[in-house]
Structure 1
Amino acid sequence: MAKRRGPAVAALGVAVALLATGACAQSAARGPADAGHGAPTAVVRTDAGTVRGTVSGRHRSFRGIPYAGPPTGEHRWAAPRPVRPWQGVRGATRPGPLCPQVPAQYGGTTSLEEDCLVLNVTAPARSGRGRGLPVFVWIHGDGTIGGGHLFDARRLADRGLMVVTVNYRLGVFGGFAHPGLPGSGTFALQDQQAALRWVARNAAAFGGDPGNVTVAGTSFGAAAIVGHLTSPSARGLFHRAVLSSGEGMMDMLAGMMGPQVPAYRWYTWRTVRDLRDAGRDVAAGLGCAGPDPGRALRCLRALPVKRILEVPYVMNVFQAFAFGEGVLPELPEKALEEGRFHRVPVLSGATRDEHRLFVGLTWDAVNGKLTEGQYEELAVTAFGKERAAAVLAEYPVDAFPSPALAWATVVTDRMWARGTYAQHTALGRHVPTYAYEFADRRAPMYLPVPAGDFDFGAYHASDTPYVFEDEALRGRFTPAQARLADAVTDYWATFAATGRPGRRGLAPWPAFEPGSPVPHTQSLAPGAVTAVDYAAAHNLAFWRRLG
């Protein structure tokens, strides 16, 4: 079986590794520097013990607070367990360890540390009196690299929010599945829910309101939130949701992420059986095969982290969530379509040119320019010969500056925009839904990709630094982009506080109404925050006709 499944699993790993770069702000963003010995401190009592953070300027910061016990030994691939209480005052001035990870094409972080289930709190230095602060919980994207402390939340805290950023188990440690393993394929989701339960118990101690919690994420993180929206065990843990470039209702046709990458019906979701089959293959490759699942798991849990990470693509194979049991009893996409999800307001959107990042990394910016012949071959691989002819007629190569941009537009429209619009529609039928498109086509590139003449446009996750502070990019924003960053952050913060993104001083942002002729989508561009006909801009009528 390992030989039969291996190539497909490896190809999926490559595809997901590229697609999930929504967390790439991690490789470039920097959190506030640790305070020196003479810096003011802040002391807070949590339910597990007292922590000492720092006060710097307008902010209070607490870093590396454990929200669950170490997932080590027999607790590797198990539900998160409670933190062991501590005596005295625990320092919370430095980041905790990143969860196990290896460098990716778009990020160089490395860690072998499993005792990594920590979170960080950033809040205004003065919380004021009266009701607690709205709480904003950030789930970073990617699913194989990064961590919460790599996102600097001071800009959001300046808007009166208590911001929590979270580490969770990644890749094979967060999504591993195996016969006889309870919770298979959902350990990352379980970690995130454990962090939300920590917020419910402890937010008030930091000046936050546990009755007003927004959970937000980008890319893989946004897909996780779609899972939480449909997970029975997440009921009541949050009251609003922000989905940035989410993949919860997205599929992938063959070749869209590269010539050798096959099609997948659900991009983010896998059946428990499929992931358990993959886990059995990985166990065999690690020398832990056998008819007794318990013995195989004991063997796997005894392996050093480094040995597991040395298996090619092992992190990316499990960069998905399993449905069919426990945490996700049914396919989240189906649950959204049929209205079975937690009723909370949602702010949801994507970028104008989502797929340009992946085309650039696969071809023009790294491996040579995509040719017209390759563009045609990719279309045939994805759509079949007959439908490819219709696609090539609708997106003729001579209508674009290059074949690469033609292909990026095809995939942005067919895969990203189609899935995003379906998500808006499913949500908007039942809850207040505010749709957006980030459209700054000159957004600075914050990822470590080669410089060149490829036009990345408003690439995947290019809106992240417009919300999270990034000192390296701050000097590269034009005045108009700096104003856009303020507006986007104001929208997100206002939504977290009230459940609506609009307020005085901001351009109006009506809700997305699925039954209207042109449901409102807010276009966010420098000097041009206005409505856009999202379906028309991404040619969705054509894709509906094509099927």
Structure 2
Amino acid sequence: MVTVAQGRLRGRIHDRAEEFLGVPYAAPPVGEARLRAPREPRRWDGVREADRLAPACVQFAPFGLADPSAVSEDCLYLDVYRPKGARAGARLPVILWIHGGAYAMGTGTQFGGRTMADLTNTVVVSINYRLGQLGYLGLPELARENARRTGSFGLLDQVEALRWTRRNIAAFGGDPGNVTVSGQSAGSASVCGLLAAPSAAGLFHRAVLQSGPCTLIGTSDSAQAESRAREFAVRAGCGDPATVTACLRAVPAATLVEAGRTVPTSGPASGDGLLPVDPAAAIRDGDWNKVPVLIGSTRSESRLFVALSQPRLTEEEYEAQILAGYGAAGPEVLARYPVSAYGSPYLALSAVMTDSSFACHTSWTARLFASQVPTYVYEFDDPDSPTLAGTQVPGLDMSNAHSAELAYLHDFTAGDRPLSEVQTALATRMKRYWGSFARFGSPAVPGQTVWPTVGRGTVLSLNPAATRTGSSFDADHQCGFWQSRQERGAL
């Protein structure tokens, strides 16, 4: 039994941990509360049974859930996992997890924290936040209704979850003065936003960014966000500025989802009271919530995206695409990434996209951090890793693709197969690194490979056969080449 500000909770024992599921951290954002800043949840009488996962937030993309019907606008809940027997006052490190999904899909309920909590003696919190245009809609009419003058409701939800954690996590045995905020993909970009948000200052003390470097996943400015929001409102049948807020709160959620298919969300916008400037610019200028950082990517991130969009790419199509996409630099890109060097057009295009985006931007973002705070960089590299369920394409090697590391750090329910014994051993090492970083701000684990700060390009390679450090990351991903293209405006 745990008592939080709203009342008493009864969780359950699962394996070697205790879990408290479906805990409200904000009031339901429904009806007149739709498209408004989150509010504190109401108190309840008696004991609330916290033994069932809450629904996912409304999904704006048709992928990501095993049960697509398990969604609701009433979705601002979180799950808490703690070591079995932990009690109030234990002051254990806290890891708050923000799921990815392009700001449009996914749920925190897919990321159980039982094993991490038990193995590393930490308290793990996994949250939901509003998605799509229910979470990110840059209309000034909506922004004027909240203190931050913002339409980034999903990011406001994340700040509110951190506030709830600060107020209540001690009751679970967690230390409100030692919170690590961690995310992957759009969840990592959300961490970038929290690092740059003045209202999040002091709510967390370490940051983990997985496959979402701040220099890659930027924000729209307020003018761009408003333009897209106006177009979305018209698609939803709410084009009259005089009635747009009331209309958007009245139409069915399914109407908003359908409108979002033709006008997808771009996530948080900058230039308001929540995010005054783009996170990458804030970090570059030193005007951010400075904490130690752990950042990394998977070795072949873009295999997932190419497999889903162009699984049968021919060599001719590959060459035409590169020449069209890179203009005058196209022949140079083809010379560096010939199909003959990779074995197939699929692998060649995956390498181009991985290197020019996730890999090199991870390196560049790490440099911004490393000049100001202790920074640790990894590359996940398991050549036989599982991938996301439902994404496999026969005949294509999707190892080390985007999201491959998730099954190694969480009790993940969306992987395509269980980990092998060797992979489970790697997963244990990874959890211990992450747990040490959460505890000390340094991923130092006795008996495991020493992981130094980034310095001189040092990166930890997380490989089942041999976890090791090296300085070849930039060369492996041709980051010098991509840097020169960027400086010349050729990207």
TM-score normalised by L of structure 1 = 0.84
Secondary structure (helix, strand or coil) at the match of 2:18 reads strand
Q: Which residue of 2 aligns with 1:522?
A: 460
- The answer to whether the 8 A contact 2:22-2:52 is kept is yes
Q: Does the 8 Å contact 1:201/1:210 carry over to 2?
A: yes
Give the structure 2 partner of residue 401 of structure 1.
Answer: 343
Aligned to 1:503: 445
Name the stretch that deviates more: 336-345 or 189-198.
Answer: 336-345
| 8 Å CA contact retained: 1:107, 1:448 | no
Aligned-partner Cα distance in 1 for 2:356–2:61:
30
Which residue of the partner structure matches residue 489 of structure 2?
Answer: none
Cα deviation for residue 381 of structure 1 reads 2.3
The match for 1:543 is: 482
User: What SS class does the counterpart of residue 310 from structure 1 fall into?
Assistant: helix
Which of these residues, 263, 285, 295, is aligned with residue 348 of structure 1?
A: 295
Gaps of at least 5 residues in structure 2 are 144-148, 487-491
Counterparts in 2 of 1:472 and 1:278: CA distance versus 1, 3 Å: closer
Aligned partner (choices 332, 337, 357) of residue 279 of structure 2: 332
1:171 maps onto 2:132 in alignment = yes
* SS of residue matched to 2:72: coil
Shift of 1:544: 2.3
Q: 2:163 is paired with a residue of what secondary structure?
A: helix
Measure how far apart 1:510 and its partner are: 0.2
Residues in 2 aligned to 1:112 and 1:432: alpha-carbon distance in whole angstroms: 39
Cα displacement string for residues 197-216 of structure 1 (whole angstroms, at most 9, x for unaligned residues):
00100011111111110010
Distance, in Å, in 2 between the alignment partners of 1:441 and 1:215 is 28
- Aligned partner of 1:229 among 172, 192, 195: 195
Corresponding residue to 1:311 among 244, 249, 259 = 259
Shift, 1:287, TM fit: 2.0
Report the secondary structure of 1:180's partner residue.
helix
Deviation at 1:474, TM superposition (A): 10
Distance 1:83 1:409 in 2: 46
Matches within 5 A, 1:217-296: 217-250=183-216, 267-292=217-242, 295-296=243-244
For 1:130 and 1:326, locate their aligned partners in 2 and report how far apart those are by CA, in whole Å. Answer: 35
In 1, Cα distance between the equivalents of 2:267 and 2:416?
A: 33
Helix, strand or coil at the partner of 1:339? coil
* Rounded Cα–Cα distance in structure 2 between residues aligned with 1:209 and 1:106: 32
Q: Deviations over 1:281-319 (max 9, x none)?
A: 121122211242xx21111111111222222516x7224
Shift of the alpha carbon at 1:130? 6.7
**Structure 2 Cα separation of the partners of residues 521 and 239 of structure 1:** 22
Q: 1:463 aligns with which of 405, 411, 425?
A: 405
| Kept after mapping to 1: 8 A contact 2:232/2:260 | no
Confirm or deny: 8 A CA contact 2:377 2:460 kept in the other structure: yes
Match of 2:94 in 1: 135
CA distance in 2, matches of 1:220, 1:439: 21
Residue 94 (structure 1) aligned with residue 41 (structure 2): no
TM-fit CA distance, 1:104: 2.2
C-alpha change, 1:497 and 1:453, in structure 2 (3 Å) is same
Q: 1:188 deviation in Å?
A: 0.6
Indicate the residue corresponding to 1:46 in structure 2. Answer: 4
CA 1:395–1:235: 2 relative to 1, 3 Å: same
Unaligned stretches of 5+ residues in structure 1: 1-42, 251-266
Residues in 2 aligned to 1:133 and 1:334: alpha-carbon distance in whole angstroms: 33
Of the structure 1 ranges 317-326 and 224-233, higher mean CA displacement relative to structure 2 is found in 317-326
Instruction: Kindly state the Cα deviation for residue 546 of structure 1 after the two structures are TM-superposed.
Output: 2.8
| Cα 1:474/1:307, change in 2 over 3 Å | closer
Give how far 1:466 is off.
Answer: 0.3
1:452 equivalent in structure 2: 394
Deviation at 1:477, TM superposition (A): 2.6
Give 1:128 shift: 6.4
Q: Which residue of 367, 378, 385 corresponds with 2:321?
A: 378
1:105 Cα shift? 4.0
- The alpha-carbon deviation at position 480 of structure 1 amounts to 2.1
Q: Give the equivalent residue in structure 1 for 2:31.
A: 73
**Cα offsets for 1:309-367 (capped at 9, x unmatched):** 222516x7224110000110111111112222111111100000011111111122xxx
Report the aligned-residue RMSD: 1.8
Give the partner amino acid of 2:181.
V
TM-score by length of 2: 0.93
Q: 1:198 to 1:176 in 2, by over 3 A?
A: same
Give the drift of 1:524: 0.4
The residue identity in structure 1 corresponding to 2:50 is A
Structure 1 position 76, deviation (Å): 1.1
Quote how far apart the aligned CAs of 1:450 are: 3.6
Shift of 1:472: 8.5
CA drift at 1:180: 2.1
Change (3 A) 1:503 1:71: same
Deviation at 1:52, TM superposition (A): 1.2
Report what 1:125 is aligned to. Answer: 84
- Check the 8 A contact 1:345/1:431 in 2, yes or no: yes
The residue number in structure 2 matching 1:144 is 104
Closer/same/farther in 2, CA of residues 76 and 472 from structure 1, 3 Å limit? closer
| Separation in 2, partners of 1:404, 1:186 | 36
Give, in whole Å, the separation in 2 of the partners of 1:63 and 1:401: 46
Question: Relative to structure 1, is the Cα distance of residues 71 and 234 closer, same or farther in structure 2, using a 3 angstrom cutoff?
Answer: same
Displacement after TM superposition at 1:475 (Å): 7.2
2:19 is matched with 61
Instruction: Look up the match of 2:146.
Output: none
In structure 2, do the counterparts of structure 1 residues 300 and 198 end up closer, same or farther at CA, with 3 Å as the change threshold?
A: same
Distance in 2 separating the partners of 1:321 and 1:103: 17
Contact 2:110 2:414 in 1 (8 A): no
Instruction: Give the letter for the 1:177 counterpart.
Output: G
What one-letter code is carried by the residue in structure 2 that aligns with 1:469? Answer: D
The answer to whether the 8 A contact 1:467-1:485 is kept is: yes
Measured in 1, the distance between the counterparts of 2:298 and 2:15 equals 33
After the TM superposition, which residues 9-48 of structure 1 pair with which residues of structure 2 at under 5 Å, given as runs?
43-48=1-6
Percentage of matched positions with identical amino acids: 39
* CA 1:103–1:540: 2 relative to 1, 3 Å: closer
SS in 1 for 2:180: strand
What is the CA distance between 1:391 and its match in structure 2?
A: 0.8
| 2:332 match | 390
Looking at structure 2, the residues matched to 474 and 457 of structure 1 have their Cα atoms a distance apart, in angstroms, of: 12
Would you say the 8 A contact 1:220–1:247 is kept in 2? no
Once structures 1 and 2 are overlaid, which stretch shifts more, 459-468 or 373-382? 373-382
State the secondary structure of the residue aligned to 2:56. Answer: coil
> Residue 139 of structure 1 contacts residue 218 of structure 1 at CA under 8 Å; is this kept in 2?
yes
Cα deviation code 1:415-460 (max 9, x no counterpart): 1112111110000110000000001121022321244110112111
Counterpart of 1:376, as a letter, is E
Distance 1:274 1:492, change over 3 A: same
What amino acid maps onto 1:449 in structure 2? T
1:18 is matched with none
